Amino acid sequence: MPPSSGQGEVMRITYLLEVANQTWGGVKVALEDANWLSQRGHQVTVVSRSGPPTWMKLDCAFQQVENFRPEHLPDADVVIGTLWSTVPWAASAGPKKGVPIHLCQGYEGDNPVNEAVRDRIEATYRLPGMHHVTVSPHLTALMRDRFGIRAHEIIHAIDHEVHKPGPKRAPQSPLRIGLVGPYAVPSKDLPTGYKACQLADKAGQNLILVRASNTPPSPEEQNLPFPVEWHQELRPDQMGDFYRSLDVFLGTSSGGEGFFLPAIEAMACGVPSVLTDIPCFRNHAKLVAHDRYAMFVKAQDPTAMAEAIVLAGALPDIRTTLRACGIEVASKYHQDHHGEQLEQVLESLVATPAQGSQQQGELRLLTKEIPTPPLPVSLPMLERPSPSSDTASNPKIPIQQVPPGSNIADNISSLADKVFGKKHGEDNPLPRLLGELHDAAHQEKIKGNFRNVARLLEAARCLNNDDKAEALSKATSRLASGNAEQALQLYDERLEAGDDDEELHTGRGNALHALDRVHEAAQAFRAALAVGTRTPDNYNRLGVVLYQAGDLTAARYSFERALMLDSKHVDARANLSALPAA
């Protein structure tokens, strides 16, 4: 069935979601987009590590997977990464899985919660060959200024069937003040909202704080001097009634927000809003040429916020203006406008993927500033070693699961004690303990903690020093976590030990490339081609470093060889087109 608009061709579209059964805003938007595109006539599949959502009906296909390896993804025209951790999988899925696209609804690297993986996030945003779609002007500017990316910006959307104005209401007593989001996320800065309510309460304002979150209350949200009405895990279709019950909506974010849907949803429901003076809230003024849709206060200023709460709740003229202008702003964010713009971007990138990449300012692997990892690859999922005859003959031996959040160093120490102390009385506990270390490394990799992955693999290597696969996995993890020098040292150790295979030489080439030792990297990629399969990816890698070494003729030859093996190899074609004329 063709798209309902009668325009364009049917596209096969894959969405990658870490979780689909939680009501985070970014998840909700991606699923709503998937439904809209499916209803438009496109073949859409949502692929997630979790089960499907229970809080909304999907009108598209759904597939639960253990990981996002290419063999678990359907063939498609487009593969869309959402959260940063899904983007490398989209980048490395291969041409049969679709043009890789990153839907950016917020920059995760500025969130203090992600401090430990910030380097990895930044490397992900710099992956070559990716197309990026943003949903707000300040995200577009951030990606341009910080990463040199020219993203495709589309307007955001809310569900106007759910979020619509109720009857105009006089302020209640107590004044109902709405605050939405998890307390534990620093960028939401809910503590400032609580302090503002305390100040307003002390000043004599009769109020009740009406909280909504998809997480349980934090200890800091208990035993407050004013009443709190708690709503946990409301379904998206219940949020309209929640907003319409409010007298004032409070947006406390201190920065780092990509869009913050609750603010626009509250405005759409006719609720006067008090918002912090940050880009994601100020950007709405560009659509209506005024800023009368909210009372703006300095971020992290509870005194100014308390004063604005009292004014927004007490003065009829202010309430009337905020309500009318808020409804006006929210009317600009319609699902059809958002969906049509998204559809147009996807169609343009499917039609001209190579040109689209160059329009973003990214010469695929041709710029000197390419970070680690220098190629659009993601680490393979860590596989446990094949069981030895001891474990195979005794299937009852349990595999200890490492509990989430456990201390990695303590785990390693405990496991080492078991090996050398033989506390369990096993004749040969080594296979089981190696398996436990692999399981722990696997869990850390899922969470993006690549330094912990490397440490766990180092422990495994100490137990089984001759395990070549272990050494290569550790080297790959070092490279992905940004430590190219240590990765190269590990690869060189295997080379000195007499190893000579494609994986080793390719890994050395990637590490040398990350260290800007392009001549040596070229030799490593030549060695990979000599001893292994002559793949288009390796010819493309070789062409990149030859270009950076200044040998344009040899680079052209390598890209042409890649296209001889795979005429649809997107990166090689883009690179060949980007070379200066001979």
Residue-wise pLDDT for 298-323, tens only, equals: 999 999 999 999 888 888 888 999 99
Query: Both 196 and 300 in a single domain?
Result: yes
Mean per-residue pLDDT of the chain: 79
pLDDT in tens, 66-89: 989 999 999 999 999 998 999 999
Which of 36-45, 288-297, 312-321, 440-449 shows the lowest per-residue confidence on average (mean pLDDT)? Answer: 440-449
Query: Both 319 and 343 in a single domain?
Result: no
Query: Residue 147: its pLDDT value, please?
Result: 86
Query: Both 64 and 150 in a single domain?
Result: yes
pLDDT over threshold 60, residue 153: yes
Distance CA 398, CA 65 (A): 24
pLDDT over threshold 80, residue 16: yes
Strands (E), 458-558: none
Q: Indicate the number of domains in the chain.
A: 3
Residue 227, phi-psi category: left (phi > 0), alpha (psi -120 to 50), beta (remainder): beta
Query: Residue 223: its pLDDT value, please?
Result: 85
End-of-domain residue from the set 435, 466, 497: 466
Residue 542 lies in a domain: no
Residue 261 lies in a domain: yes
Residue 567, phi-psi category: left (phi > 0), alpha (psi -120 to 50), beta (remainder): alpha
Residue 344 class from Cβ within 10 Å (0-12 exposed, 13-18 middle, 19+ buried)?
middle
Residue 73 lies in a domain: yes
pTM score of the predicted model: 0.58
Query: Residue 575: its pLDDT value, please?
Result: 81
Distance CA 345, CA 43 (A): 16
Is pLDDT larger for residue 380 or for residue 290?
290
Residue 202, phi-psi category: left (phi > 0), alpha (psi -120 to 50), beta (remainder): alpha
Local structure of residue 97 (DSSP, 8 states): G
Pairing of strands 99-104, 131-134: parallel
Query: Residue 581: its pLDDT value, please?
Result: 59
pLDDT in tens, 255-265: 767 788 899 99
Helix (H) or strand (E) holding 404: none
Distance of CA 145 to the CA centre of its chain: 19
Query: Residue 15: its pLDDT value, please?
Result: 97
Q: State which residues form the domain around 411.
A: 386-466
Structural tokens at position 230:
């708690």
Residue 557 lies in a domain: no
453, 382 contact by CB (below 8 A): yes
Query: Both 437 and 344 in a single domain?
Result: no
Q: How confident is the model at residue 403 (pLDDT cuts 50, 70, 90)?
A: very low
Q: How confident is the model at residue 548 (pLDDT cuts 50, 70, 90)?
A: confident
Residue 184 neighbours by CB under 8 Å, 6+ apart: 215, 218
pLDDT over threshold 90, residue 417: no
Which of 176-180, 503-507, 530-534 shows the lowest per-residue confidence on average (mean pLDDT)? Answer: 530-534
Q: Specify the 3-state DSSP secondary structure of 294.
A: coil
Distance CA 350, CA 405 (A): 41
Query: Residue 430: its pLDDT value, please?
Result: 57
Query: Both 208 and 259 in a single domain?
Result: yes
Query: Both 320 and 344 in a single domain?
Result: no
Which of 78-82, 102-106, 249-253, 354-358 shows the lowest per-residue confidence on average (mean pLDDT)? Answer: 354-358
Q: How confident is the model at residue 252 (pLDDT cuts 50, 70, 90)?
A: very high
Query: Residue 503: its pLDDT value, please?
Result: 85
pLDDT over threshold 70, residue 526: yes
Residue bearing tokens 């500025």: 110
Query: Both 191 and 312 in a single domain?
Result: yes
Q: Specify the 3-state DSSP secondary structure of 515.
A: coil
Which whole number is the average pLDDT over 140-154? 89
Is pLDDT larger for residue 162 or for residue 382?
162
Query: Both 136 and 267 in a single domain?
Result: no
Which whole number is the average pLDDT over 193-198? 94
Query: Both 207 and 303 in a single domain?
Result: yes
Q: How confident is the model at residue 365 (pLDDT cuts 50, 70, 90)?
A: very low
C-alpha pair distances (Å), 19 with each of 74, 110, 180, 227, 255: 18, 21, 21, 33, 25
Distance CA 452, CA 455 (A): 5
Q: How confident is the model at residue 373 (pLDDT cuts 50, 70, 90)?
A: very low
End-of-domain residue from the set 410, 435, 466: 466
Which whole number is the average pLDDT over 227-234? 91
pLDDT over threshold 90, residue 175: yes
Distance CA 299, CA 306 (A): 12
C-alpha pair distances (Å), 509 with each of 67, 489, 532, 560: 26, 12, 14, 20
Distance CA 349, CA 570 (A): 12
pLDDT over threshold 90, residue 42: yes
Torsion angle, alpha carbons of 94, 99, 105, 107, to 10: 50
pLDDT in tens, 428-438: 555 666 667 76
Burial 300-316 (b: 16+ CB within 10 A, else e): ebbebbbbbbbbbbeee
239, 163 contact by CB (below 8 A): yes
End-of-domain residue from the set 310, 330, 350: 330
Residue 3 lies in a domain: no
Q: How many CB atoms lie within 10 A of CB 202?
A: 11
pLDDT over threshold 70, residue 462: no
Query: Both 252 and 323 in a single domain?
Result: yes
Residue 476 lies in a domain: no
pLDDT over threshold 80, residue 371: no
C-alpha pair distances (Å), 190 with each of 179, 185, 263: 8, 8, 14
Distance of CA 543 to the CA centre of its chain: 30
C-alpha closest to that of 211 among 192, 189, 194, 186: 194
Query: Both 76 and 210 in a single domain?
Result: no
Query: Residue 531: its pLDDT value, please?
Result: 80
Query: Both 150 and 23 in a single domain?
Result: yes
CA 27-139-293 angle, to 5 degrees, is 85
Residue 474 lies in a domain: no
Distance CA 442, CA 448 (A): 10
By percentage, how much of the chain surpasses pLDDT 90? 32
Q: Which residues pair with residue 9 across a beta bridge?
A: none
**CATH at residue 54:** 3.40.50.2000
Distance CA 265, CA 270 (A): 9
Residue 272 lies in a domain: yes
pLDDT over threshold 50, residue 383: no
Q: How confident is the model at residue 413 (pLDDT cuts 50, 70, 90)?
A: very low
Structural tokens at position 498:
């007499």
Which whole number is the average pLDDT over 265-293? 91
Distance of CA 213 to the CA centre of its chain: 21
Distance CA 263, CA 286 (A): 16
